[in-house]
């Protein structure tokens, strides 16, 4: 019974009361190549799907600073120049530890990578890959993120 009530709260009632939507920040990491830009995708820890480095805002850091911290922890981005304003946003449904889900709005910050490390906090939990933006758009699942990648 407790699980049913918790599920009803997380999936039905809480979303009605929770305004605005939960917000995350993402670093759309790129590098310049002879043929144009490549973007850095990583795998999610839970499903292994391709995503950009992202996470919850960090107390004491603004949006771009939080996105850079996530890029370090999840993808090994050591040095980078990040735009102070987001280049777009996308929404996705995040699975919660409680078993429920939540719609999350993710602010995307364009991040030019200078240095990429091989050892970083989540290096044993994720894969990463440099790909052309159009290829990246075909690899991610979120339609709004696909549009941001295609416009890059």
Question: In a 3-state reduction of DSSP, which class is residue 96?
Answer: coil
Within-domain flag for 6: no
Please report the beta strands in 3-35, taking only residues with DSSP state E, as ranges in sequence order: 22-33
Residue range(s) defining the domain that contains residue 133: 22-151
Give dist(CA 119, CA 137) in Å, integer.
27
pLDDT above 70 (res 16): no
CATH of residue 111's domain is: 3.90.79.10
Determine the pLDDT at residue 126. Answer: 96
* CA end-to-end distance (rounded Å), the chain: 49
Within-domain flag for 114: yes
- Mean pLDDT taken over the chain: 90
pLDDT band with cut points at 50, 70 and 90 for residue 99: confident
Within-domain flag for 140: yes
Over the stretch 42-54, which tens digit does the pLDDT of each residue have? 999 888 999 999 9
Do strands 101-116 and 50-51 pair parallel, antiparallel, or not at all (unpaired)? unpaired
Q: Whole-prediction pTM value?
A: 0.83
Give dist(CA 9, CA 6) in Å, integer.
5
């Amino acid at each position: 019974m407790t699980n049913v009530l918790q599920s009803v709260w997380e999936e039905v009632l809480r979303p009605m009361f929770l305004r605005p939507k939960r917000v995350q920040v993402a670093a759309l990491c790129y590098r310049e190549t002879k043929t144009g830009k490549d973007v850095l995708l990583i795998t999610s820890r839970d499903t292994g799907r391709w995503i950009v480095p992202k996470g919850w805002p960090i107390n004491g850091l603004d949006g771009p600073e939080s996105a850079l911290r996530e890029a370090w922890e999840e993808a090994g981005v050591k040095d980078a120049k990040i735009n102070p304003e987001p280049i777009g946003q996308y929404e996705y449904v995040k699975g919660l530890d409680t078993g429920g889900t939540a719609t999350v709005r993710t602010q995307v910050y364009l991040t030019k990578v200078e240095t990429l490390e091989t050892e970083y906090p989540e290096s044993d939990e994720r894969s990463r890959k440099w790909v052309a933006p159009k290829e990246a758009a075909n690899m991610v699942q979120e339609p709004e993120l696909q549009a941001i990648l295609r416009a890059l």
